Homo-oligomer: A and B are copies of this chain.
Amino acid sequence: MEKFRNDIMKTIIEKYRRIWAVTHCISLMGWDSETYMPREGIRERSVANAEMSTLYQELLLKEEFVSLVERASGKDDLNPYEAGTIRVLKREITKMKKLPPELVYELEKTTSEAFQVWRVSREENKFDPFVPYLKKIIELNREMANKLGYDDNPYDALLDLSEEGLRTRDIKSIFDNLSPALKGILGRVDSEGYFSKRHELDGIKYDESAMKRVNDRVLELLHYPRNRARIDVSPHPFTVGFGLNDVRITTRYEGYDFKRSLFSTIHEFGHATYELQIDNELDMTPIGTGASLGIHEGQSRFWENVVGRSPPFAGLIKPLLDSELKITANYGAEELYRYFASVRPSLIRTEADEVTYNLHIALRFNLELKLINGELSVEELPQAWAETSESLLGVKPRNYADGVLQDVHWSHGSFGYFPTYTLGNVVASMIARKIANDIGKVQDLISENGIVEIKNYLKSNLHSFGATYAPKDLLQRVFGYTYNPSDLVHYLEKKYIEKSAY
């Protein structure tokens, strides 16, 4: 089937090719900067990047292109792919038009300084130097929200930037359901001790080149298509797609606790698989990408947590771990699984397990909402962080570095981004439930062939559409409902309390 049949749509897709080419270059520069670029290359790279970003904006806002999009948007005979293309383009054009270049420039300037100040402040465990920057960033975010417009809450405008159609009330209702349930599960896991005991493998060193072979072999097991995909190394793992036939992930090697590297790899594999399984006819079009950050995170969390942190997966990869790493040889598959799926409240979000992770997000959502709405001042933030952390996780940071300064996001100017992590966990559990319903429990499917079955199922039911549908519409079509926190609670209860297949 030809997806773009309308004449005006064909013209739009053709003209969009140049805009796409610019994003292709921007993505490639981003990937290269994080992986192979020699240090001093940043001097030229930052100039090239700024030029290409401006060029992207200029091409997108070209009068001829905008009016084509306007004209197409008035037509009532668009098929879903055509309508999706117009939806995505209009959203991007509107955003660019509403945000004045001076504001964007001011935010970029502030955050590039703020990022440096944040780094030093965290190292030196001082909050004061960061205060004026965070204030300024919040102010600029409020201004951005005002320019973008919103119905109820300025935070809505910021949320919508991260996840199309997401509102503060959605997130509130998710956490109202999730937070008490998670605290309950955490309490029971903790008192039982099966998952919460310290594990002998915690913190054990590994050989990096052996671990590289492990990751390669795990990706092979997951049928990662090397003719269309790569894995490289970077301090902060990420996935980037340069098109639907060139998707790249990175992973990290800290040298201890091999599960960190392993699950980073599987997490990014999940992101990559989404992009790789989008219908190739959508390649190089505005909808040839994931539907949203939250749905993307749903894919990565599904593979990392639902598939990866499961007893059968531990069993599946144990032989290769034993042969490459040696350090696992004395542990049975169940022991390995307990190491993968350990649950313990901690101060650091990025090290959190499945049960506590969303409590870290609840904490951040709670505070950033108040910051944007002026109900909390930056000066009061550390105290509020400590109190909320204690009430949600039962632990309280003793310094700024483990508390309010631990994440890079705010220094980057990102408000409204954190909640998409929880959406991801929710979506992952929705996928688990639907797969169980349609083709069998995920745990029972985990085998070399079963993995192909799962991938094919996700491809035809979810991935292939790309960004054809807005995130909530896509979920409604696929699951019959949108972000449903009960699925996550149910999945965690099955896994961590009942210890039964999900």
Contacts and interface: CB of A to CB of B under 8 A. Distances in A.
Contacts of A242: 41, 44-45, 48
Contacts of A51: 17-18, 20-21
A457 B36 CA distance: 30
A32 interface: yes
A52 B228 contact: no
B284 A40 contact: no
Contact of A41 (B39, B52, B228): B228
Interface string A111-149: 000000000000000000000000000000000000000
B228 A36 contact: no
A38 B284 contact: no
Interface stretch (A23-31, A93-101, A150-158): A23-31
A36 B28 CA distance: 11
A286 interface: no
B38 A32 contact: no
Nearest to A55: B18
Interface size band for A:
35 or more
Interface of A is mostly: helix
A43 interface: yes
Given A21-B51, A47-B284, A32 B28 contact: yes
B48 A21 contact: yes
Contact of A44 (B45, B243, B248): B243
Interface of A: 17-18, 20-21, 24-25, 28-29, 32, 36-41, 43-45, 47-48, 51-52, 54-55, 226-230, 232, 242-246, 248, 283-284
10 contacts: A25-B28, A32-B32, A38-B230, A38-B248, A39-B227, A40-B245, A40-B246, A44-B245, A44-B246, A44-B284
